[in-house]
Structure 1
Amino acid sequence: MDNRDEVSAFLKSRRAKITPEQAGLPAYGQRRVPGLRRAEVAMLAGVSVEYYTRLERGNLGGVSESVLDALAKALRLDDTERDHLHALARAANTGPPRVRRRPKAPTVRPSVLRIIDGLHDQPAYVRNNRMDILAANPLSRALYGEVLEQKPANTCRYAFLDPRAARFFPEWERVARDAVGALRVEVAKSPYDRELSNLIGELSTRSDAFRTLWGSHDVHAFADGIKRFHHPVVGEMELVHESLDLPGDEGLSITIHSADPGTPAADALQLLASWAAGQDRVSAVMQDDTEN
């Protein structure tokens, strides 16, 4: 990943989203491009036009946090976008590693596995920064069965390359946009992650939808919210989700789904758990018959 290209495209895309009226500036003269002019952003950020031009060309080396914060304010960045800008600056100042070692395959600690397995009535799984599902409890395996058919199981690859995803996610457009935005955040944090680059290259090549969304340079941070599913067995359900980073396990996080008691979604989760238990019993019987 070329950090300069990332920085330049991100700043240009944010500048294009702001009108002079939104920035509290008078709109005068003929505008050939949408959004603010470079001189207007420079004025709002309190820097020279020449300095801002240097930044927008992708050179964030040596830029202070105060300038980055002023730039974030001028471009009206939200918290996720502001953090993204700071991550791009850190990558620019760090540069590529001198020795590129093959990254170790992430492993999920036994204590973490016990945590998610202990959530009997809540689907829970562990993922890495590329959206690979590394471990899942039984209810999550029942919920994400179609996703887990792939090896490695990757929610982004499923969303963009599996035709069943549009049915499984009734709000597919939002799911797709958030997934691409989350990958964009990870690129800023890990610009030299070869496997991450390979995933983005694969999706860009094979999916027009991904390629279009990737070009928007929007960012997204998973935290909490509501997600709708249409499961092939239990039908539609609306679940709350929480994403929690694992301290000490860089790039790993736990995602937990839940439903308010007494709601149709809670009933659907109970039905899904019963169905999954039945499937496990059938599998166990078939295995016994095979062994005997």
Structure 2
Amino acid sequence: MPGQPPNIARFTFLDERARRFYPDWDAFAEVTVSILRTEAGRDPRNKELHDLVGELGTRSEEFRKLWGEHNVRHHGTGFKTFDHPIVGEMTLAFEGLEMAAEPGLTLTIYTAEPGSPSAERMQLLASWAASEYGNAVHAEPGRTRTES
């Protein structure tokens, strides 16, 4: 969301593109709320989390409904399907790694099955991103490559 730091919960519930990006949006939304509930239980005085829950609760009926179900879940491993606007649908395995040096911080790693269509799409996405990043790096400061 413009003016806000990137946040998967905001994207899931407040950005209409999320329903296309997550082909199984209902399941993804349930997991997102369950993770937020888990974190709220770990750190009940976290003002940023309180503010996020309040924002989502006032702006999303779906969030309010799921939050009211009181589901709590540790979401460490599994599979997620994404429909990326550049490369299409990808199903990726994921694993969350708890960061010992930063309690409460998790690094999530996504991988595609080698040789799968998802792996091919990940390679295409990496190539596209490298090209886009390279264009931005070689542009004049304050201008995109296409403006140069």
TM exceeding 0.5: yes
Structure-2 residue corresponding to 1:256: 109
The one-letter amino acid paired with 1:189 is: R
The one-letter amino acid paired with 2:118 is: A
Equivalent residues in 2 for 1:4-43 (5 A)? Answer: none
Structure-2 residue corresponding to 1:227: 80
Structure-2 residue corresponding to 1:174: 27
- Give the one of 233, 246, 266 matched to 2:119: 266
How many angstroms apart in 2 are the aligned matches of 1:196 and 1:289? 34
Structure-1 residue corresponding to 2:45: 192
Count matched residues: 144
How far residue 248 of structure 1 moved from its aligned partner, in angstroms, is: 2.3
How far residue 284 of structure 1 moved from its aligned partner, in angstroms, is: 2.3
Q: Provide the secondary structure at the position in 2 that maps to 1:242.
A: strand
Structure-1 residue corresponding to 2:61: 208
How many angstroms apart in 1 are the aligned matches of 2:3 and 2:141? 26
How many angstroms apart in 2 are the aligned matches of 1:288 and 1:193? 38
Q: Give structure 1 stretches of 5+ with no counterpart.
A: 1-146
Q: Give structure 2 stretches of 5+ with no counterpart.
A: none
Q: Are positions 1:159 and 2:12 aligned together?
A: yes
Write 1 or 2 for the structure with the bigger share of strand. 2
Q: Provide the secondary structure at the position in 2 that maps to 1:212.
A: helix
How far residue 168 of structure 1 moved from its aligned partner, in angstroms, is: 0.4
Structure-2 residue corresponding to 1:242: 95
Asked whether the 8 Å contact 1:260–1:266 carries over to 2, the reply is yes
Asked whether the 8 Å contact 1:179–1:220 carries over to 2, the reply is no
Equivalent residues in 2 for 1:51-66 (5 A)? Answer: none
TM-score, structure 1 as length reference: 0.47
The one-letter amino acid paired with 1:215 is: G
Provide, for residues 161-181 of structure 1, a one-character-per-residue CA deviation record: whole Å limited to 9, x for no partner: 000000000011011000101
Structure-2 residue corresponding to 1:87: none
How many angstroms apart in 1 are the aligned matches of 2:71 and 2:44? 16
Provide, for residues 57-91 of structure 1, a one-character-per-residue CA deviation record: whole Å limited to 9, x for no partner: xxxxxxxxxxxxxxxxxxxxxxxxxxxxxxxxxxx
Provide, for residues 124-165 of structure 1, a one-character-per-residue CA deviation record: whole Å limited to 9, x for no partner: xxxxxxxxxxxxxxxxxxxxxxx8x76311000100000000
Q: Are positions 1:279 and 2:125 aligned together?
A: no
How many angstroms apart in 2 are the aligned matches of 1:191 and 1:289? 42
Aligned-residue RMSD, C-alpha: 1.8
How many angstroms apart in 2 are the aligned matches of 1:288 and 1:212? 46
Distance 1:269 1:253, change over 3 A: same
Distance 1:210 1:282, change over 3 A: same
Distance 1:192 1:178, change over 3 A: same
How many angstroms apart in 1 are the aligned matches of 2:73 and 2:3? 25
How many angstroms apart in 2 are the aligned matches of 1:278 and 1:236? 21
How many angstroms apart in 2 are the aligned matches of 1:277 and 1:287? 18
Which of structure 1's runs of 4+ aligned residues deviate more than 4 A? none
The one-letter amino acid paired with 1:281 is: G
Of structures 1 and 2, the larger Rg is shown by 1
